[in-house]
């Protein structure tokens, strides 16, 4: 039993002493009410089934005799509600007290204020079974062993939704001696004495839950503590401890489960500690453990056959601090999203490390002492590399995003070309008739022209396989020359593009820029047109990958490399004139892109730089579309609305990769090999004069993989 709980066992003796005193004192019995504006100085005793009420604005202030309580019962089913103020003065005084084993099924509720100022002066307490004690107001104690809320009966429920403040040694906020008890804090608990825990349980099969705030400052003053077996303790709130050996969470029992999904900050103490066997300690996704002080540990498991699960953050700073320390057959499970800063030493015994690289695994490098068996394919399909005692978990989002970005870049260029070819194939009126087919009509496509566009796009994708969700952007400029040949046309184009990508977790960032050239043409037969284009391009890439090295902290791996690509496209379009100046244009389009990325080796980290071999990727994009076009009323342009379905297929994605100082392995990328969805868009062309046309286009899309996209084009055409 840990130091500090020994004094609580004396609570039974103290309770018996209080009982004796209470029954030797003249008190007021039967139901009672202290009304608003009334100050009552007479202690109360309630028998079976009776109730006591202090109204808001009412005061019960008891100053004599010593070792008694303001309100006492040793009977079943008593109900006490305080909406006003209870104060006691003198040794051993209690605000509301179930004084013996007969005080079963009692319910004490404080919505007001309770203050005690003496040694062993509880705010509210009971020795009977199945007690329910709830604080929604304020309880303040200032003596040694003066617990704010206390129970020595099995199956009790202690709840704090308000404020508990204790200032004496061994004065706990919430404390239960017997088993199968439930302790809940959603409010604020503050203790300032030595051995003064925020929440404590001294027997088996109890449950502790904190979603509020616990602050302790004394020596050995733990935030949440359990000394029994089979205890479950969960922190989803905030625990702050500053006294020596005042752990945020601690269990000295066996077969217990302690989970932190909130925040633990411990100065001069461990964050989470277990000394018993068979215990499970977990820091979940949103959980954070931060410790400082010489020789302190984020998670310490020294009992046999312990299990440590980390998917959150564990940070240990200061001389000789450790993130994780164990002994006696420990199993360490590192889950996706884990961030560990500080040494890891599992100690003597038969140990195992299981690394799960399912979706959400950020890049980290772990040096683990006494790791035992390291399983690097726990349940995930991400990339894990091992070189000696160093294990690197690689965020593969950058590798996967390269493939998608290449397809997006090529598709954006093809779409810009398609918009140039998507003109009406019927004569259009112009302000000044020239080369007229009939009065007021000009066959615009017969005139050679140059054109230029600026384009931009945005795409968001969710987690996919071992890849994190990311957001990408693209922009660029494209210009070309087009020559009509009868009903047909051919053209040349060139331009430059810029693109960027950043993961939602800000763990990978990629920027690229490049240039491209190509040619296109359209062949028209009646109402049918066949469009084709070929793009050849070059890109330069600069990537950054955030790596958490448990021995170093955060580092940034940087890379600089080149890629080239070629992308042909083909589209079939039919024009259907339905009258009223409206034209329907159903179409099918497909483009294929092959890219090759050059070999590179990252720089910037101590032991996490990757060596990536040159590799190729394939992307196929397809669209089925229906567009409706109508000429503007003044005849100087046209407007188009469109919608359709889109499909993308991602082909080759295997890559040979390894640590710069280790062997290379072939990694087969994960995640969806395809995506599909729909889109809507609009296009407008307006003839400024007979030679110049303004073109504007906008498109929005949704696709599988939680993909959202938007793109736009703005351009000019000038005819000779």
Q: What is the pLDDT of residues 103-136, one digit of tens each?
A: 999 999 999 999 998 888 899 999 999 999 999 9
* Cα separation, 600 vs 682, whole angstroms: 42
Residue 24: partners with Cβ closer than 8 Å, 6 or more residues away: none
Question: What does the block give as tokens for 249?
Answer: 């969470």
For residue 676, the surrounding DSSP H or E stretch is: strand 674-687
Print the SS3 string covering 487-516.
Answer: CEEEEEEEEEEEEEEEECCCCEEEEEEEEE
For residue 106, the surrounding DSSP H or E stretch is: none
Q: What is the pLDDT of residue 7?
A: 36
3-state helix, strand, coil in the chain (%, to 5): 5, 55, 40
CATH assignment, 396-423+444-719: 2.40.128.130
325-341 mean pLDDT: 91
519, 532 contact by CB (below 8 A): no
* Cα separation, 380 vs 397, whole angstroms: 14
* Cα separation, 283 vs 310, whole angstroms: 5
**Residue showing tokens 């690689």:** 394
Q: What is the pLDDT of residue 9?
A: 35
**Residue showing tokens 């954006």:** 412
Answer whether residue 488 shows pLDDT above 60: yes
Question: What does the block give as tokens for 70?
Answer: 């303001």
CA 410 to chain centre: 33
Choice among 19-33, 103-117, 400-414, 474-488 with the minimum mean pLDDT:
19-33
Answer whether residue 316 shows pLDDT above 80: yes
274, 249 contact by CB (below 8 A): no
Question: Could you tell me the pLDDT band of residue 632, with boundaries at 50, 70 and 90?
Answer: confident
Answer whether residue 235 shows pLDDT above 90: yes
Choose between 389 and 649: higher pLDDT.
649
Choice among 64-78, 160-174, 527-541, 601-615 with the minimum mean pLDDT:
64-78
**Residue showing tokens 């005799």:** 65
Average pLDDT, the chain: 88
SS3 279: coil
Choice among 64-78, 123-137, 337-351, 487-501 with the minimum mean pLDDT:
64-78
* Cα separation, 466 vs 386, whole angstroms: 18
Omega cis (within 30) before 65? yes
Answer whether residue 185 shows pLDDT above 90: yes
* Cα separation, 62 vs 459, whole angstroms: 70
Q: What is the pLDDT of residue 359?
A: 61
* Cα separation, 198 vs 165, whole angstroms: 9
Q: Where are the domains of the chain?
A: 31-221, 396-423+444-719
Q: What is the pLDDT of residue 28?
A: 52
Q: What is the pLDDT of residue 428?
A: 42
For residue range 274-289, what is the model confidence (pLDDT) as tens digits? 999 999 999 998 999 9
392-396 mean pLDDT: 85
602, 643 contact by CB (below 8 A): no
Answer whether residue 576 shows pLDDT above 80: yes
577-589 mean pLDDT: 91
Q: Calculate what percentage of the chain has a pLDDT beyond 70.
A: 91
> The pTM is what?
0.77
Q: What is the pLDDT of residue 403?
A: 79
For residue range 431-472, what is the model confidence (pLDDT) as tens digits? 444 444 444 444 444 678 899 999 999 999 888 777 778 899
Characterize the bridge pairing of strands 272-274 and 297-301: parallel
Choose between 77 and 397: higher pLDDT.
77
642-655 mean pLDDT: 88
360 class by beta-carbon count within 10 Å (0-12 exposed, 13-18 middle, 19+ buried)? buried
**Residue showing tokens 């007479």:** 42
CA 298 to chain centre: 21
């Amino acid at each position: 039993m840990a130091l500090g709980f020994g004094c609580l066992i004396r609570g039974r003796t103290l309770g018996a002493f209080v009982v004796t005193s209470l029954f030797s004192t003249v008190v007021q019995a039967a139901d009672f009410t202290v009304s608003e504006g009334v100050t009552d100085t007479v202690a109360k005793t309630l028998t079976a089934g009776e109730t006591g009420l202090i109204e808001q604005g009412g005061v019960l202030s008891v100053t004599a005799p010593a070792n008694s309580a303001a309100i006492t019962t040793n009977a079943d089913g008593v109900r006490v509600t305080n909406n006003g103020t209870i104060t006691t003065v003198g040794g051993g005084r209690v605000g509301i007290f179930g004084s013996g084993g007969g005080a079963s099924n009692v319910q004490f509720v404080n919505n007001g204020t309770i203050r005690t100022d003496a040694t062993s002066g509880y705010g509210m307490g009971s020795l009977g079974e199945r007690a329910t004690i709830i604080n929604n107001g304020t309880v303040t104690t200032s003596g040694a062993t003066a617990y704010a809320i206390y129970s020595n009966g099995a199956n009790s429920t202690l709840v704090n939704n308000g404020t508990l403040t204790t200032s004496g040694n061994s004065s706990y906020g919430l404390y239960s001696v017997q088993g199968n008890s439930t302790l809940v804090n959603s409010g604020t608990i503050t203790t300032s004495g030595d051995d003064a825990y925020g929440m404590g349980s001294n027997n088996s099969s109890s449950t502790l839950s904190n979603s509020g705030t616990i602050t302790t400052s004394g020596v050995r003053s733990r935030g949440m503590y359990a000394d029994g077996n089979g205890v479950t303790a969960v922190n989803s709130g905030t625990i702050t401890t500053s006294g020596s050996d005042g752990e945020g969470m601690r269990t000295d029992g066996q077969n217990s489960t302690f989970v932190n999904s909130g925040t633990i900050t411990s100065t001069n103490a461990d964050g989470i500690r277990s000394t018993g066997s068979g215990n499970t300690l977990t820091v979940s996704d949103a959980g954070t453990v931060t410790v400082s002080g010489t020789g302190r540990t984020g998670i310490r498991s020294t009992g046999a056959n312990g299990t440590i699960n980390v998917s959150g953050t564990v940070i240990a700073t200061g001389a000789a601090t450790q993130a994780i320390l164990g002994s006696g057959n420990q199993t360490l499970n590192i889950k996706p999203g884990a961030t560990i800063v500080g040494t890891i030493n599992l100690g003597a015994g038969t140990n195992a490390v299981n690394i799960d690289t399912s979706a959400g695994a950020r890049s980290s490098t772990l040096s683990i002492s006494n790791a035992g068996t390291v399983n690097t394919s726990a349940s995930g399909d991400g990339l894990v590399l091992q070189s000696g005692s160093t294990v690197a978990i690689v965020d593969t989002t950058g590798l996967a995003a390269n493939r998608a970005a290449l397809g997006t870049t090529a598709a954006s260029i093809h779409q810009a070309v398609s918009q140039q070819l998507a003109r009406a194939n019927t004569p259009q009126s112009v302000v000044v008739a020239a080369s007229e087919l009939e009065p007021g009509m000009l066959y615009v496509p017969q005139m050679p022209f140059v054109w230029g566009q600026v384009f931009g796009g945005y795409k968001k994708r969710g987690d996919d396989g071992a890849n994190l969700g990311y957001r990408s952007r693209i922009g660029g400029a494209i210009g070309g020359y087009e020559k009509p040949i009868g009903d047909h046309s051919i053209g040349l184009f060139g331009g430059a593009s810029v693109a960027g990508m950043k993961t939602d977790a800000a763990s990978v960032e990629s920027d690229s820029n490049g240039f491209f050239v190509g040619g296109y043409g359209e062949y028209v037969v009646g109402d049918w047109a066949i469009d084709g284009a070929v793009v050849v391009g070059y890109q330069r890439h600069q990537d950054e990958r955030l790596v958490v090295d448990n021995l170093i902290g955060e580092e940034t791996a940087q890379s600089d490399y080149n890629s080239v690509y070629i992308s042909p496209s083909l589209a079939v379009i039919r024009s259907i004139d339905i009258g009223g100046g409206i034209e329907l244009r159903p179409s099918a389009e497909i483009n294929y892109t092959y890219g090759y990325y050059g070999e590179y080796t990252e720089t910037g980290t101590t032991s996490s730089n990757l060596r990536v071999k040159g590799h190729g990727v394939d992307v196929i994009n397809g669209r089925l579309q229906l567009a409706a076009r109508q000429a503007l009323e003044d005849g100087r342009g046209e407007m188009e609305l469109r919608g359709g379905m889109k499909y993308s297929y991602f082909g080759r994605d295997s890559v040979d990769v390894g640590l710069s100082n280790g062997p290379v392995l072939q990694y087969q990328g994960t995640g969806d090999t395809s995506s599909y969805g729909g889109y809507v868009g609009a296009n407008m062309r307006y003839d400024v004069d007979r030679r110049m046309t303004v073109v504007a286009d906008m498109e929005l899309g949704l696709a599988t993989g939680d993909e959202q996209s938007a793109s736009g084009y703005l351009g000019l055409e000038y005819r000779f």
